Amino acid sequence: MENSNAESPVFNPEDFSIVPQRGFNELKIGEVFRAPSRTLTDAHASAFQTVSCDNHPIHYDKEYAKRYGHEAPVVHGLQVLAFTAPGATLLPHYFGNVFVSFLEQSCRFLKEVHSGDTLYSSLMITNLEPKGDLGVVTTEVTVYNQKSELVLQGQHKYLLRR
């Protein structure tokens, strides 16, 4: 092997970004960021129950759920909301180092979700509000099931440097 005096390339972790970072002014109203689909299992429900400490039988007792008019135990609403986490999409990767904070979230639960349902979530930029050196990005968040039913709708707001 021949010795070379050539310098090795300098490693820069920022060269490993998944997508090119964009500033506030490069974002566009109407842009959609989708998360990969996920099929919920009983294991997901059990894990969420453990983390949330929500032990209401509507979420894990099949007979209890049926007694109260549900076809099966109902997945925790907050678990469905978790499917709108921006990090499940590429959105925060585009924000990169201009991200300051996740300001707020809201949602409406529109349909029941059960183990075995496949969920499809997305975030769409609906407003870009400059505020001096900062800007607020508003996204509409939606979650559909495998039957094309809208099961959750809401919004997120993020604060970015401009």
Looking at residues 15-31, what average pLDDT do you find? 91
Closest CA to 74 of 66, 85, 82: 66
Closest CA to 123 of 40, 30, 23: 30
Longest alpha-carbon distance in the chain:
78
pLDDT of residue 146 exceeding 60: yes
Supply 141's token pair: 């968040």
Domains for the chain: give ranges and CATH numbers: 24-161 (3.10.129.10)
**Paired strand residues for 155:** 106, 140
pLDDT in tens, 65-116: 999 999 999 999 999 999 999 999 999 999 988 999 999 999 999 999 999 9
Banded model confidence at residue 16, pLDDT cuts 50, 70, 90: confident
pLDDT in tens, 27-63: 999 999 999 999 999 999 889 999 999 999 999 999 9
**When comparing pLDDT for 7 and 125, which is higher?**
125
Question: What pLDDT does residue 14 have?
Answer: 75
